[in-house]
Amino acid sequence: MQLAQRHIIKSTNDSFAEIDELAFKSKNLYNAANYVIRQNFVYGWGYLTYNKMASLMKSHPAYQALPAKVSQQILMILSNNWQVLLPSLWLNYRGGCYTSITSSIEVPIIPE
C-alpha cells in the first residue's frame, strides 16, 4: 500500500499563482526534454541517458526557469519513464514492425 497526501489548493489561495507558475514551468521542461529523447529514438540515434539529457538541457530556457535541483528531478523522472517503456518496446519489436505478443497485450506507444 502506498501512502500519499493530497493537498487541494483553490484559486483563491495566496500561493496559488506561484504554484501554478512552477507547475507550468515544470511541464514545459518535461515536454521539451521528452521531445528531444523521442526524436533521438524515432530517428534511430539511440536513447539519451539522464546524464546526456541533463548536459543538453542545461542551456535550455525551460531548464533555467526552475531551480537546478527541481530541473534535475524532472529529468530523472522522465528518464525513469523511458527506461520503463523501452524494454517493452524492444520486446514487442518483430521483423521491422511492432506487433503484440498476444492479442490481449497492447503494443506500447512512444510518449508524444
For residue 53 the three cell numbers come to: 539529457
Answer yes or no: are the C-beta atoms of 28 and 65 closer than 8 Å. Answer: yes
pLDDT tens, 29-82?
Answer: 999 999 999 888 888 787 888 999 999 999 999 999 999 999 999 999 999 988
Give the whole-angstrom CA distance, residue 78 versus residue 15: 27
Residue 15 contacts residue 9 (beta carbons within 8 Å): yes
- Reported as type and span, the H/E element at residue 94 is strand 93-94
Residue 108, CB-side half-sphere exposure with 13 Å CA sphere: 15
Question: What are the domain boundaries of the chain?
Answer: 16-98
The answer to whether 100 and 92 are in contact (CB under 8 A) is: yes
pLDDT for 98 beyond 80: no
Axis-axis angle for helices 16-42, 50-57 (nearest 10): 120
As to burial, measured by CB atoms within 10 angstroms (0-12 exposed, 13-18 middle, 19+ buried), residue 30 is middle
Who has greater pLDDT, 8 or 44? 8
Mean pLDDT of 6-12: 90
